[in-house]
Structure 1
């Protein structure tokens, strides 16, 4: 059945908004549909949308908590490995510490360095202990040394020092020809080596305590 749009439009123009009961059935039906749509739209905007946003925030929070949990779980799983590594480090540290002489053993270590120099046929010009330097748990004892000999003897001397049972390092090495004596002359030596031989000793409990107190000041 064809709908006369012009007639419908004329009916709309003559509607009495104060008396909906007199409206034609099709107008009341159309108005009801619009009202239902408006109610649904309002409900979504004021109720459903708010719930949706809360659900979205809750989902994001859940993802963040899950990520945090997984991160902590990985750390917990690696804890045993960390503990094993720590034990290895403590063991290695203990072994290194046992290589450091105590205060009473320093004189013997310096004597070992002197004997090593003599065994390699080097002439000693200077062997001068310097002021010791206190670190956290050990002390450095630098010794200024100047020896004269040929290149191979000097190289063996440095190598033999590195092989001592106690830790000794040779630093700030300089080599220079011996003044006034050409290589090959009777009794002449080829090179003069100046260096710093550092020995180390561990600190006793009292010294460690004093060192810690100085660090806190």
Structure 2
């Protein structure tokens, strides 16, 4: 009996037989130096991919630099304008929401303002006012140097009558005089006052000078009385 020995063939994968090559940058660079410009199809695959990526990147950069970047600037400007318009809209919308209340307030203010205007005298009656100022000064023990009635100043709704007062006295006397002016039955406002000590001394209580600008008011409905010239008040003796 004859025995035969069978041989078994084991197939080895090609991947296991061929060692994997590592990336060689020098070889990759040399592949660019040996390119055939007349035969693009013969270029290595790595070169083709690299060139394609470069072309796509250049086109993308060009598209960004030219139209897209300008559009981005326009979008940013539009967004800033949108914020401004939204703020303006909110302000106008708030005013529109409260328009009825604003109209009611304006009507009430006009009524109150007209009532105040009606309280103003139809003429200044300067002589009576100067006499009241003079009597108030006598009661406060100050000595007048001058009471000057200055020209009227016409405002939009009324007419101002400025009166300049110069007097001598002490601090508490000036305070009593100002309080007396406020108590007169006329609307009188006081502006731009100055208090000076012309002769400082430690031996006695100093006599001070007061310069005070006052204003009274009248309605514009009628003509004023004849203006009164600047009249110096008579001197009063001090205590």
- Give the structure-2-normalised TM-score: 0.50
Evaluate the alpha carbon distance shift between residue 49 and residue 132 of structure 1 in structure 2; reply closer, same or farther with a 3 A threshold.
same
Query: Aligned with 1:47: secondary structure?
Result: helix
Q: Does the CA contact (< 8 Å) of 2:32 and 2:47 recur in 1?
A: no
Evaluate the alpha carbon distance shift between residue 141 and residue 155 of structure 1 in structure 2; reply closer, same or farther with a 3 A threshold.
same
Whose Rg is larger? 2
Q: Does the CA contact (< 8 Å) of 1:100 and 1:202 recur in 2?
A: yes
> What is the aligned-residue RMSD (CA, Å)?
5.1
- 1:33 paired residue number: 49
Q: Does the CA contact (< 8 Å) of 2:162 and 2:213 recur in 1?
A: no
Q: Does the CA contact (< 8 Å) of 2:31 and 2:47 recur in 1?
A: no
What's the CA shift for 1:40?
1.1
- 2:227 paired residue number: none
Q: Does the CA contact (< 8 Å) of 2:132 and 2:184 recur in 1?
A: no
Aligned match for 1:133, one of 135, 152, 168:
152
- 1:161 paired residue number: 181
Range that drifts further, 167-176 or 46-55: 167-176
CA distance in 1, matches of 2:150, 2:32: 110
Name whichever structure is richer in helix by fraction: 1
- Please, which runs of 5 or more residues in structure 1 have no aligned partner? 177-189, 208-217
Deviations 1:24-53 (A, max 9, x none): xxx342332123213311220222454542
- 2:215 paired residue number: 198
What's the CA shift for 1:158?
3.3
- 1:185 paired residue number: none
- 2:122 paired residue number: 102
CA distance in 1, matches of 2:29, 2:196: 114
Evaluate the alpha carbon distance shift between residue 68 and residue 205 of structure 1 in structure 2; reply closer, same or farther with a 3 A threshold.
farther
- Give the structure-1-normalised TM-score: 0.54
Evaluate the alpha carbon distance shift between residue 125 and residue 15 of structure 1 in structure 2; reply closer, same or farther with a 3 A threshold.
closer
Residues 1:76 and 2:92 are matched in the alignment: yes
Query: Aligned with 1:101: secondary structure?
Result: coil
What's the CA shift for 1:100?
3.5
- Please, which runs of 5 or more residues in structure 2 have no aligned partner? 1-17, 198-206, 225-239
Range that drifts further, 160-169 or 64-73: 160-169
Paired positions, count: 185
Evaluate the alpha carbon distance shift between residue 7 and residue 127 of structure 1 in structure 2; reply closer, same or farther with a 3 A threshold.
closer
Deviations 1:53-111 (A, max 9, x none): 244223312321222112212431453489469827656654554444333xx22x642
Query: Aligned with 1:30: secondary structure?
Result: helix
Evaluate the alpha carbon distance shift between residue 77 and residue 99 of structure 1 in structure 2; reply closer, same or farther with a 3 A threshold.
farther
